């Protein structure tokens, strides 16, 4: 093997593992250094007392054919589980009532979720011009201008909470929702743009996030990282926390601690896939500006609460993906996913399981409150909304102190600097979910982009 081909990847989350997988197939000698004892990063599946639950992502969207290809190559087809058709129905809470989000023009006209005024306001959308300062516009400003305030409050606000656990007033429309921004930039509006871009996408065999199929695995989301890690075998070194990276005459020296022992490894290229605030530590001796940009990427906390009940205790029909809560409704949590409705094998047929999300950029104070008090409050609200009479038969939670990076206004400056740093330091790539999108689909697409960049060099 040509020593030029030696690559070290820091982090065995889905970004690092997919990149390692693709590069290995191209003949590179790839080593992955992972701090923890298992792969997956934010992807964590646990099986306990007959319940299967995901503490991080519960599902992903098949937005690129590469996902199906990897699943097939790893022989995981019979493990794959697509979401039940019930999952197409999503509820929004308004005045303590759950309303299905309208998914077609007739449903939109008939829905009680939006007032008649809000519906008429939508008709004005094609006549609204482009914004002048898109770079620095929040998704809230963008939507208010194009679609009106009620649409922002009862569609976009809960949607943003569901995807980013984020705040629409802070998230940059260009960085966090590039496709939406592009519809205005390229086609002049959302309605015209959606129709035209569907036609163009069909030609490219790409799927939009709205039409891509939702999937998980019979044994939970961890199946994919576990399987890629098995394929890579001893090339994934666990319990290895990278502390620093030094430039050598040819290539780099990666310094890490393995089970308390200092160690190092040399390579020609290094791909960092750790969260931005950890990359800031690893690269702190390289460049003050890089450290500052990395530190400024905001990761709010999220508490994931998992609840299971007897089906006979639940009056709310279990016929949907779950529900999201607009900030205006002033509840203690962001929404819930009805996990056992969507995927098989989550529990037995007499029980139903739910995953609730609490905090995020809407309520970062959850970091400072007593978790038991918070959980009790959330549980009571949830049981009231769902019309549940009995106690949970199982309950557990995971607190993520730094959950999901926020592509906030000004993010564009970080992005520009990350690009500049990579140009000035050939052989170093900054990757991970704070670049190119937070979804699992985006992390996988990004791994493909990086692989092409390296193989073309």
Ligand X SMILES: Cc1cc2nc3c(=O)[nH]c(=O)nc-3n(C[C@H](O)[C@H](O)[C@H](O)COP(=O)(O)OP(=O)(O)OC[C@H]3O[C@@H](n4cnc5c(N)ncnc54)[C@H](O)[C@@H]3O)c2cc1C
Q: Which residues form the interface with ligand X (CB under 6 A)?
A: 10-16, 33-36, 41-43, 56-60, 241-242, 273-275, 278, 302, 304, 400, 403-404, 432-433, 438-440, 443
Indicate the residue among 38 and 287 with the shorter CB distance to ligand X: 38
Indicate the residue among 64 and 131 with the shorter CB distance to ligand X: 64
Rounded Cα distance, 177 and 159, in Å: 12
For residue 187, the minimal CB distance to ligand X (Å) is 26
For residue 218, the minimal CB distance to ligand X (Å) is 17
Rounded Cα distance, 85 and 428, in Å: 43
Q: Which tokens is 75 given?
A: 């022989």
**287-292 long-range contacts, Cβ below 8 Å, gap at least 24?**
287/421, 289/417, 290/417, 290/418, 290/421
For residue 454, the minimal CB distance to ligand X (Å) is 17
Indicate the residue among 35 and 371 with the shorter CB distance to ligand X: 35
Q: Which tokens is 9 given?
A: 């990847």
Helix ranges (DSSP H) in 233-370: 276-282, 288-296, 339-342
Rounded Cα distance, 392 and 314, in Å: 11
Rounded Cα distance, 12 and 237, in Å: 9
Indicate the residue among 57 and 320 with the shorter CB distance to ligand X: 57
For residue 203, the minimal CB distance to ligand X (Å) is 25
Rounded Cα distance, 342 and 322, in Å: 9
Q: Which tokens is 56 given?
A: 């991080």
Tell me the three state secondary structure of residue 191. Answer: helix
Indicate the residue among 165 and 314 with the shorter CB distance to ligand X: 165
Rounded Cα distance, 422 and 399, in Å: 33
For residue 85, the minimal CB distance to ligand X (Å) is 18
Integer angstrom CA distances of residue 189 from 168, 179, 185, 360: 19, 12, 8, 30
Indicate the residue among 56 and 166 with the shorter CB distance to ligand X: 56
For residue 303, the minimal CB distance to ligand X (Å) is 9
Tell me the three state secondary structure of residue 146. Answer: helix
Indicate the residue among 147 and 245 with the shorter CB distance to ligand X: 245
Q: Is 99 exposed, middle or buried (0-12, 13-18, 19+ CB in 10 A)?
A: middle
Note the Cα 245 to chain centre separation in Å. Answer: 28
For residue 442, the minimal CB distance to ligand X (Å) is 8
For residue 350, the minimal CB distance to ligand X (Å) is 26
Rounded Cα distance, 101 and 121, in Å: 18
- Sheet with strand 60-61: strands edge to edge: 60-61, 214-217, 80-82
User: Which H helix or E strand runs over 124?
Assistant: none
For residue 15, the minimal CB distance to ligand X (Å) is 3
For residue 400, the minimal CB distance to ligand X (Å) is 5
């Amino acid at each position: 093997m040509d020593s030029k081909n030696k690559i070290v990847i820091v982090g065995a989350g889905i970004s690092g593992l997919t990149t390692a997988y693709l590069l290995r197939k191209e003949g590179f000698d790839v080593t992955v250094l992972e701090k923890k004892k298992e792969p997956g990063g934010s992807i964590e599946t646990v099986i306990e007392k007959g319940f299967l639950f995901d503490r991080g992502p519960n599902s992903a969207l098949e937005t690129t054919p590469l996902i199906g290809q990897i699943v097939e190559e790893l022989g995981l087809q019979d493990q794959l589980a697509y979401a039940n058709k019930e999952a197409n129905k999503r509820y929004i809470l308004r005045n303590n009532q759950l309303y299905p989000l309208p998914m077609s023009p007739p449903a939109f006209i008939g829905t009680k979720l939006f007032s008649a005024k809000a519906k008429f306001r939508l008709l004005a959308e094609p006549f609204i011009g482009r914004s002048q300062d898109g770079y620095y516009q929040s998704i809230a400003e963008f939507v208010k201008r194009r679609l009106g305030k009620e649409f922002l409050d009862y569609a976009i606000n809960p949607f943003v909470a569901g995807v980013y656990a984020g705040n629409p007033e802070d998230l940059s429309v260009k960085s966090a929702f590039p496709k939406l921004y592009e519809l205005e930039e390229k086609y002049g509006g959302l309605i015209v743009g959606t129709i035209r871009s569907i036609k163009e996408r069909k030609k490219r065999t790409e799927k939009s996030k709205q039409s891509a199929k939702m999937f998980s695995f019979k044994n939970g989301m961890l199946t994919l990282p576990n399987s890629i890690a098995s394929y890579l075998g001893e090339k994934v070194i666990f319990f290895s926390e990278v502390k620093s990276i030094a430039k050598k005459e040819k290539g780099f020296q990666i310094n890490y601690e393995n089970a308390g022992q200092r160690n190092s490894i040399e390579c020609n290229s290094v791909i960092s896939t750790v969260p931005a605030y950890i990359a800031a530590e690893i690269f702190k001796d390289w460049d003050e500006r890089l450290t500052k940009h990395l530190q400024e990427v905001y990761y709010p906390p999220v508490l994931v609460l998992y609840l299971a009940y007897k089906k006979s205790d639940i009056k709310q029909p279990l016929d949907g993906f779950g529900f999201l809560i607009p900030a205006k409704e002033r509840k203690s949590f962001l929404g819930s996913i009805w996990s056992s409705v969507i995927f098989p094998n989550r529990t037995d047929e007499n029980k139903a399981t739910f995953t609730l999300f609490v905090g995020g950029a809407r309520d970062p104070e959850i970091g400072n409150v007593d978790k038991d008090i918070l959980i009790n409050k959330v549980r009571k609200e949830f049981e009231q909304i769902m019309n549940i009479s009995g106690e949970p038969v199982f309950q557990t939670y995971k607190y993520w102190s730094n959950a999901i990076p926020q592509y906030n206004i000004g993010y564009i400056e970080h992005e520009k600097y990350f690009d500049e740093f990579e140009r000035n330091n050939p052989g170093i790539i900054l990757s991970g979910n704070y670049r190119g999108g937070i979804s699992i689909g985006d992390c996988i697409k990004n791994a493909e982009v990086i692989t092409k960049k390296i193989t073309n060099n």
